[in-house]
Structure 1
Amino acid sequence: MGFLTQAESVFLTITQGSTTVIWSQEYFVNREDVRLYVYRKRATAPVAGEATKPVLLLVHGSTVSGRNTYDLQVPGGKDYSVMDFFAERGYDVWTVDHEGYGRSSWSGRGNSDVRTGAKDLASVVPFILQETGVEKINIFGSSSGALRACLYTEAHPETVSRLGLSALVYTGEGSPTLEQRRKKLPEYSTSPRRKVDLAFYEGMFNRDKPGSSEDSVPKAIAAAELPLVSEVPTGTYVDMCANLPLAKPEAIPCPTLVIRGEFDGIAAEPDLLDFFTRLPTKDKQFVVLSGIAHNPMMGVVRNKFHFALENFLKAPM
């Protein structure tokens, strides 16, 4: 495994009338011949010999890359960057673009399915441990990112302190979104990539509950993503339509948070409760957030998501 430090930046984030300086750095970590883009933010630059900060790794879903999911900058918007939110609160925050997404390379093999994404994490996490000096990290994943995070945690439980999941799908039973998506399964199964554009992003946010997010959000995603990609991999779509269940809750030993948005069409609540009851840990939370659809960090009431994840991460062990 090798890496290249590409750039270091300092961002200014305006928070409640004050200016907060957010430090960031970009890296590349290799998984075989795939160059995975890794992005990091924290309140200040690391200093040799300082105490470690709690580490939070954010895992993206099927359509938008890691940086543009978790560090989205929306003109006129506030608190859309999950990375800034947690960096300001003392976390060392990381994300990765999975193979074929964003700034990461594309091998041309396979379709970057959920298991491949878990392998991406298995390449990136040792690098994060090396750079930060911690022995365990917190992981949060949304949608297919939740599945990637589950599979990684099952395989490497010794490296995960806490696991947060949102927009998770377990068996897929009762999912109206997946029922509609299966109509295009033959197309997704025969092509490793699918087209994305502004209209697709707008459809993502109007699918479950129109009005649960601002119209500026898909426009901001398009402005950030489309200079990088016009297509994204189909693997996670195929997995969620044809290969569920993928996660084995019985194999996840760490404290776990399951978040469901009130209007999320990916997973029915009984399906998630089935997953939740199978988790062996007694340190677990199931949270339903009213007013939220599939993308909790990008909705009008995203402050509810911030509250739920922050309180889970800082709860006593």
Structure 2
Amino acid sequence: MNTMTHQSAATASHRKPDVQWTGGEEHWTTRDGGVDLFMWRKPPTGGQKPIGTILFVHGSSMAGQPTFDLQVPGRPDSSVMDWFAAQGFDTWCVDSEGYGRSSKHRDINFDIANGAADLAAATTYMTGHTGAERFLVYGISSGALKAALFAQQHPERVERLALDAFVWTGEGSPTLEARRKRLDEWLSKNRRPIDNAFVHSIFNRDHPGTADDATVNAFADAILTLDDSVPTGTYVDMCSKLPIVDPAKMPMPTIVMRGEYDGIASEEDLLEFFSLLPNSDKQFAVMAGIAHASFQQKNYRMVYHILRSFFTQPAPVYRMTHSTSGN
């Protein structure tokens, strides 16, 4: 049974009062007979009819609201959800199981496949609540892998797909090479601790200086308001189980968004993935001056522009047809 504005005692205990999110709607749904999934919605401003419905998918070390609804004083349009809602989009994010306000009670490591199942449950709820049947799906880092796997499993639900900080095989990734040194540790437990120093390390590992201190501090505060540990499953998958998705099975228009300094994947790895996408309505965007967490970077407005342009691009009027007749 799908429910709204419901919060179990188990998930409520993880919510601290330090950071408040306002101006949106809480939504809840369930899956697998007892898993509560928290969703946060910001509909189009002014009550206008949405020009599209976006589902934002977070990464390995933080929940949805800190990533997509981050409010930073003195940083205009800091919340990507607010910005896209002002552009006329219906915007949603969901906390994957094991993160934020969603259920954490199961004795599993909440891997990428489990996250894709969360997206299936979330979109089923979104369709029932709004009537939208096809979604503009954006995922970042391991969230991009979850989004891609969901798109592969449910292509009929994905109108356009944006993969930011994505990795395919992991070949040539300095971040994953370093992370594999701790694979035995990740395999030995279902959760890993996070703290302020860890959040700051996200912005220092590739190219320090791409994000300002005020934004990084606000991001860390928002993340740690909801979680002091996060699942190990996405780290295990990215270190030992790639590739997880097959581009040939992803027929929807797709954009691959790569930060200039992002160490999660090599450009060669991403270009090979890109070449195998079957729909010619596809884009590969290199984002100048961007490292890994693109919405928290100094160049975040450029990221918004790239994404909005892709999400509002008209479908091709002409497509070449293959003729069987000879000359």
Fold equivalence (TM over 0.5): yes
Q: CA deviation at 1:78?
A: 2.1
Q: 1:158 & 1:91 partners in 2: Cα distance? A: 20
Check conservation: 1:26, 1:40, Cα contact below 8 A: yes
Matching residue's letter, 1:218: V
Q: 1:223 & 1:128 partners in 2: Cα distance? A: 29
Q: CA deviation at 1:132?
A: 1.6
Q: Deviations over 1:34-74 (max 9, x none)?
A: 1111000023476xxx8454100000000010111000112
Residues paired across the two proteins, number: 300
- Alignment gaps of 5+ in structure 1: 8-21
Aligned twin of 2:25: 25
Q: 2:234 & 2:278 partners in 1: Cα distance? A: 26
Distance change in 2, residues 1:90/1:6 (3 Å): farther
Aligned twin of 2:41: 40
Q: Give TM-score, length-normalised by structure 1.
A: 0.91
Q: Map 1:53-68 to 2 at 5 A.
A: 53-68=51-66
Q: Map 1:129-278 to 2 at 5 A.
A: 129-278=127-276
Q: 1:201 & 1:51 partners in 2: Cα distance? A: 37
Check conservation: 2:166, 2:264, Cα contact below 8 A: yes
Aligned twin of 2:73: 75
Check conservation: 1:198, 1:218, Cα contact below 8 A: no
Aligned-partner SS, 1:5: coil
Q: 1:45 & 1:76 partners in 2: Cα distance? A: 24
Check conservation: 2:99, 2:230, Cα contact below 8 A: yes
Aligned twin of 2:93: 95
Q: 1:23 & 1:299 partners in 2: Cα distance? A: 23
Aligned twin of 2:18: none
Check conservation: 2:261, 2:289, Cα contact below 8 A: yes
Q: CA deviation at 1:27?
A: 1.1
Q: CA deviation at 1:226?
A: 1.7
Aligned-partner SS, 2:198: helix
Aligned twin of 2:2: 2
Check conservation: 1:102, 1:228, Cα contact below 8 A: yes
Q: Percent identity?
A: 48
Deviates more, 1:116-125 or 1:210-219: 210-219
- Alignment gaps of 5+ in structure 2: 8-21, 316-327
Match of 1:125 among 123, 126, 136: 123
Check conservation: 2:138, 2:147, Cα contact below 8 A: yes
Q: 1:180 & 1:52 partners in 2: Cα distance? A: 43
Q: Deviations over 1:266-300 (max 9, x none)?
A: 00000000110010000000000110001111100
Q: 1:245 & 1:312 partners in 2: Cα distance? A: 25
Q: CA deviation at 1:5?
A: 2.5
Match of 1:105 among 103, 106, 112: 103
Check conservation: 2:200, 2:220, Cα contact below 8 A: no
Matching residue's letter, 1:146: A
Task: Point out the structure with the larger strand share.
Answer: 1
Deviates more, 1:77-86 or 1:153-162: 77-86
Matching residue's letter, 2:268: P
Q: 1:226 & 1:162 partners in 2: Cα distance? A: 32
Matching residue's letter, 1:267: A
Q: 1:298 & 1:51 partners in 2: Cα distance? A: 29
Q: CA deviation at 1:110?
A: 1.3
Q: Which runs of 4+ in 1 moved over 3 A?
A: 43-46, 50-53
Question: How large is the Cα RMSD of the aligned pairs?
Answer: 1.5
Check conservation: 1:250, 1:279, Cα contact below 8 A: yes
Q: 1:184 & 1:279 partners in 2: Cα distance? A: 32
Q: 1:149 & 1:289 partners in 2: Cα distance? A: 20
Check conservation: 1:23, 1:45, Cα contact below 8 A: no
